[in-house]
Amino acid sequence: MPHIDSHPAGSFCWFELGTTDQHAAKTFYSSLFGWAAGDSPMGPGHVYTTFALDGRACAAAYTITAEMSRQGVPPHWMVYVAVGSADDTAAKAKELGGKVMMAPFDVMDLGRMAVIEDPAGAPFSIWQGKSVKGSGITAEPGTFCWGELSTSDVPAAQAFYSGLFGWNIVPGQVDENYLHIENAGAMIGGIPPSQYRNPNVPPHWVSYFLVTDCDATATKAKDLGATLLFGPETMEKVGRLAFVADPQGAVFAIFKPAR
């Protein structure tokens, strides 16, 4: 399996589930993707679950706090972007019209992070890795493979993210209306046209996970209590995908690329 030890600045590096039922989430994702779950203390009455494949960390989960629930935070997947300096990146995000929701802070000796909203309101996190750089495995079933931004203002998103991370955001080869995000020579995500999004859903990032059989995985997710929101559907010359809400409501996508 492709093991990785670091992530280029501007690349997605960590994928974190905030959920209302951490125990149920561990059962669901371990069954769906074959993840092994390990818990670490993170304060009185709380643990942080790290999921792993082939002994390498690939994602995580925590229980949404009562305060977060009061603020209306739903179960969700959060993407983290690798940066050289969390403080400098947070300051730059603010200059570019973003909102710093959680100012940069140290996570023990693991790294330094901040939570940011882009100008349209889509939240994401930044990670300045220290002893932990992020996920340690890629390009295998069950690993993150694509980040997709659902936004109400595509031009503003282009300007913000290219200015913040240096992303090259270009029209896709299959559909020029779907923008591809390039970082460090790799395509890492995309931005679909805003007219295709549900206007009743706030702007957000969607995490895609690689699978070997989209239909079988979608069926298994449903059998495990998830809801299929879209698909499975084939995108010509791209692959087959489905959007899924886990039993607690956190939305993610599964994807099998075309040959």
Q: Estimate to the nearest angstrom the gap between the alpha carbon of 141 and the chain centroid.
A: 16
Both 50 and 106 in a single domain?
yes
Q: Is residue 3 part of a domain?
A: no
Both 110 and 158 in a single domain?
no
Q: Give the domain-ending residue among 98, 129, 160.
A: 129
Using CA atoms, how far apart are residues 12 and 134, in angstroms rounded to an integer?
9
- Paired with 28 in beta bridges are none
Q: Give the domain-ending residue among 95, 129, 163.
A: 129
Which range of residues forms the domain containing residue 209? 144-257
Both 44 and 104 in a single domain?
yes
DSSP reduced 3-state for 162:
helix
Token representation of residue 61: 């989960």
What pLDDT was estimated at residue 175?
A: 80
DSSP reduced 3-state for 74:
coil
CATH of the domain at 66: 3.10.180.10
Using CA atoms, how far apart are residues 214 and 255, in angstroms rounded to an integer?
6
Strand pairing category for 186-191 and 251-257:
unpaired
The secondary element (H helix, E strand) that includes residue 221 is helix 214-223
Q: Is residue 134 part of a domain?
A: no
Q: Is residue 2 part of a domain?
A: no
Q: Is residue 53 part of a domain?
A: yes
What pLDDT was estimated at residue 191?
A: 97
117 vs 9, 85, 103, 202, CA distance in Å? 19, 17, 12, 11
pTM of the predicted model as reported, rounded to 2 decimal places: 0.96
What pLDDT was estimated at residue 1?
A: 54
Q: Is residue 49 part of a domain?
A: yes
Using CA atoms, how far apart are residues 106 and 178, in angstroms rounded to an integer?
36
Radius of gyration of the chain from its Cα atoms, rounded to whole angstroms: 17
Order the strands of the 111-117 sheet from edge to edge.
36-41, 47-53, 56-63, 12-19, 76-82, 123-129, 111-117, 99-107
Both 116 and 149 in a single domain?
no
Tell me phi and psi for residue 32, to 5 degrees: -75, -45
Task: Judge if the upstream peptide bond of residue 232 is cis by omega within 30 degrees of 0.
Answer: yes
pLDDT in tens, the chain (259 residues): 599 999 999 999 999 999 999 999 999 999 999 999 999 998 788 899 999 999 999 999 999 998 989 999 999 999 999 999 999 999 999 999 999 999 999 999 999 999 999 999 999 999 999 999 999 999 999 999 999 999 999 999 999 999 999 999 999 887 889 999 999 999 999 999 998 888 899 999 999 999 999 999 999 999 999 999 999 999 988 999 999 999 999 999 999 999 7
Both 124 and 22 in a single domain?
yes
Q: Give the domain-ending residue among 71, 102, 129.
A: 129
Both 200 and 108 in a single domain?
no
Domain count, the chain: 2
